[in-house]
Structure 1
Amino acid sequence: MARPPLPPFDAVSAAQKVRAAEDAWNSRDPERISLAYSEVSWWRNRSTFVSGRTEIVRFLTGKWERELDYRLVKELWASTGDVIAVRFAYEFHDADGRWFRAHGNENWRFDGEGLMTHRHASINDVAIEDSDRLFHWDAPGPRPADHPGLTELGL
């Protein structure tokens, strides 16, 4: 099952791939999200290593049990051929109501069908006050087209 746009990526198709990934993750639907990855996709997410769609679903299910009211913004950093580099930030709160903003970078590699085969994510969390939140839209769901991106927000 092909997942366009397909590599090799140019600036436009890479940006489309990034926005599609952002929209999918903002759905908080692990099954839907897992379909963008190959059956043998390999991840490094912080210090956790994940392999295959079943583990991706398990990982994301646990993530959103802990990271509540999650909202994500991704931005294309660079691309070449079958590789895309992304920077991102997301906000969430824990079960005690403490808010955080996570900042990170990802490197993605895709197969010829447009499925991600590798995802390397480095992420740092910063505690924030509710009044410092920047991502405000009805969630789960995609970021509205008129909501500023990372560059516009100065992140």
Structure 2
Amino acid sequence: MSFNGKVEKRPPLPPFDYESATLKVQLAEEAWNSKNPQQVALAYTPDSLWRNRNQFLRGRQEIEEFLTQKWESELDYKLKKELWSYNFNRIAVRFFYEYRTKEEQWFRAYGNEMWEFASNGLMQKRFASINDIHINKNDRLL
């Protein structure tokens, strides 16, 4: 795959072993905690498919727009991801994150993600199931 004439690669590359899958999850956590939609979107193939809750996205532009809106409304966002399982080019992750609204209501979101990667290490599919709960500010874990 190429973008602007350059071959894109995002190590670690499949096939994954425990160490490379764990690193891939850690790198994703760090990228999402940067809250930089442009940076995060570059980890996905240009035609990447997403399901995030009840939303279906296709491609980097839609991903970047989604993340921009997300982090404009989910303030003080902090995420923790954990490797659940892996195989050749797929990784399953469980996660939770916390954020607050402009009205100062805090939430914790729990979820699972299924990731599928292209041979160059870019994510080509992401399917996320997520549930939010109200929390008190003093109950935050992150």
How does the TM-score come out when normalised to structure 1?
0.87
Counterparts of 2:133 and 2:101 in 1: how far apart (Å)?
A: 13
In the alignment, the residues of structure 1 paired with residue 70 and residue 110 of structure 2 have an alpha-carbon distance, to the nearest angstrom, of 16
Superposed CA deviations along residues 33-89 of structure 1, whole A, max 9, x for unmatched, are 001000000000000001000000000000011100000000000000000000000
Tell me the amino acid that sits aligned with residue 62 of structure 1.
Q
> What secondary structure, in the 3-state scheme, does the structure 2 residue paired with 1:42 have?
strand
- Residue 2 of structure 1, CA deviation: 0.5
Flag structure 1 segments of 5+ consecutive residues without an equivalent. Answer: 136-155
Match of residue 69 from structure 2: 62
CA distance in 2, matches of 1:65, 1:5: 30
Dislocated runs of 4+, deviation >3 Å: none
- Percent of matched pairs sharing the same residue: 56
| Structure 2 residue matching 1:108: 3-state secondary structure | strand
Aligned to 1:52: 59
Task: Decide which of 107, 111, 116 is 1:109's aligned counterpart.
Answer: 116
Matching residue within 27, 40, 47 for 2:47:
40
Corresponding residue SS for 2:99: strand
**Aligned counterparts, 1:62-141, within 5 A:** 62-135=69-142
Structure 2, gaps ≥5 residues long: 1-7
**2-structure distance, mates of 1:64, 1:28:** 7
Query: Pick from 8, 17, 24: which aligns with 1:10?
Result: 17
Letter in 2 for 1:43: W
Secondary structure of 1:7's counterpart equals: coil
Structure 1: distance between partners of 2:94 and 2:18: 15
Q: Which has a greater percent of strand?
A: 2
Distance 2:28 2:110 in 1: 16
Q: Identify the residue that residue 31 of structure 1 maps to in structure 2.
A: 38
One-letter code of the match for 2:129?
S
TM-score in terms of structure 2 length: 0.95
Counterpart position of 1:145: none
User: Structure 2 CA distance, aligned partners of 1:77 and 1:126?
Assistant: 22
